Amino acid sequence: MSLSLLLQSLILGLLLGGLYALLAAGLTLYFGVMRVVMIAHSAFLILAAYLAWFFTKQTGLDPLLSLFITVPLFFAAGYVMQRALLSRLRPATLTMMSVLLTFAIALVIEGGLGYLFSGTQRRIQLGYSGASLELWGARIAVVKLIAFGLAAISLLALFLLLKKTRFGQALRATIQHREAAQLLGIDTDRIAGFGFGLGLATAAVGGTALALDATIYPSLHWHWIGPLMAIIVIGGLGSIPGAAIAAMILGVTQALLQIPMGTTWAQTVFYVALFATLMFRPQGFFGGRLAQRF
């Protein structure tokens, strides 16, 4: 194994890890505000990728511009979904039933995409699709760098939003202790809806980033949901930094294992890590109080 190949895998792993981190942050947000495991997250990811592809196909513009449509759209969809569907479920069985409800939504999205666009694999062709940078013998595709940049900027924006704004404070208060937040005059229902919208907006950004350099098809979301679920459990359910760290580590591990094992077997690293975590440290590695009980 040459050193440049190793370096290349390392960089690709970091770039992929960035995307995982953004998406896992979205999943963590849902879990934080509502204790909901959102299976449909990756289905929305693929939906956003399809919208980006469709946008480029119809208008000929750069897929990145579709973000101006998909991000607000997904934010609104997330808000509506939380307010109209998930908040109707009984609190006692919320965890289980929300899984089923979001699973149902994922099926509808997958089936709808398959029906509208057929199961054919799609790919966006761009002027810079083939371009790549060379760095000490490692070749890195420009689209992957753009995807990573998009993920990193969004993650940073999310971080600043949560830490520096009044809304972020209210959201974090809602996540930490709902009743106490209510007593302080926070409209937790609305905030929870916005939290959901934010989570879904990460799927919009992630989907566009994905569409830049991946071949997409309707059932692709199953390949994403497993790793993402594993990441949030390993990071400790409810912890955004934990999810980001776990995403980076697993992304790099996956990329490095691809060299000796091939792509398919390298995927299993997520599941092996998931089982090991649950066996030895069920609350995850970076989880706080929230993770203890779920």
Partner 1 sequence: MLSASSHGRTPAAIRLVAAVVLLGLVLAFPALAPDPFILSVGVVIASYAALAVAWNFVGGLTGYISLGHAAYSGLGGYGTALLITEAGVNPWVSMVVAALLVGAAAVPIGIASLRVRGASFVIVSIALVLILLLVAQSWAGVTGGSNGLRVPRPFGTDVLRPEQHERFFYLFVALTLVALVLWWLIDRSRLGTGLKAIREDEDKAQALGVPTFAYKLVVFVVSAFFTAMAGGMYALWFGSLDPIFQFSILTGSYLVLMSLLGGVRSLLGPVVGAVIVGYAVEFFKNQYGDTQLHLVALGLLLALVVLFMPDGVIPWLTSQLDRFRPGGTSIREVDAAQLAEERKALEEAKR
Stretch in the footprint of partner 1 (CB under 8 A) among 48-56, 95-103, 120-128, 151-159: 95-103
Q: How far is the CB of 169 from partner 1 (least distance, A)?
A: 26
Nearer to partner 1, 84 or 160 (CB): 84
- Angstrom distance (rounded) from CA 12 to CA 209: 14
Alpha helices in the chain, H assignment, sequence order: 3-34, 41-59, 67-80, 94-117, 142-164, 166-176, 178-183, 188-213, 221-235, 240-261, 263-280, 289-292
Handedness of CA 127, 128, 129, 131 (dihedral sign): positive
Interacting positions 266-285 with partner 1 (CB under 8 A): 267-268, 270-271, 274-275, 278-279, 282-283
Q: Does 103 bind partner 1 (CB under 8 A)?
A: yes
- Do 28 and 231 contact (CB within 8 A), yes or no? no
Q: What is the gyration radius of the CA atoms in the chain, in angstroms?
A: 19
Residue of 97, 145, 152, 186 interacting with partner 1 (CB under 8 A): 97
Q: Does 25 bind partner 1 (CB under 8 A)?
A: no
What's the one-letter identity of residue 12? Answer: L
Q: Does 217 bind partner 1 (CB under 8 A)?
A: no
- Do 245 and 18 contact (CB within 8 A), yes or no? no
Residue of 12, 37, 52, 211 interacting with partner 1 (CB under 8 A): 37
Nearer to partner 1, 107 or 184 (CB): 107
Q: Does 226 bind partner 1 (CB under 8 A)?
A: yes
- Do 47 and 116 contact (CB within 8 A), yes or no? no
Q: Closest by alpha carbon to 158, among 252, 75, 49, 35?
A: 75
Q: Does 55 bind partner 1 (CB under 8 A)?
A: no
Encoded tokens for 199: 């989570």
- Do 44 and 103 contact (CB within 8 A), yes or no? no
Residue of 95, 129, 176, 253 interacting with partner 1 (CB under 8 A): 95
- Angstrom distance (rounded) from CA 40 to CA 45: 9
Residue of 61, 222, 259, 289 interacting with partner 1 (CB under 8 A): 222
- Angstrom distance (rounded) from CA 29 to CA 198: 8
Q: How far is the CB of 59 from partner 1 (least distance, A)?
A: 26
Nearer to partner 1, 159 or 178 (CB): 178
Nearer to partner 1, 202 or 283 (CB): 283
Q: How far is the CB of 91 from partner 1 (least distance, A)?
A: 12
- Angstrom distance (rounded) from CA 28 to CA 239: 7
Binding residues vs partner 1 (CB under 8 A): 31, 35, 37, 39, 85, 88-90, 93, 95-97, 99-101, 103-108, 110-115, 119, 218, 222, 225-226, 229-230, 233, 237, 262, 264-265, 267-268, 270-271, 274-275, 278-279, 282-283, 293-294
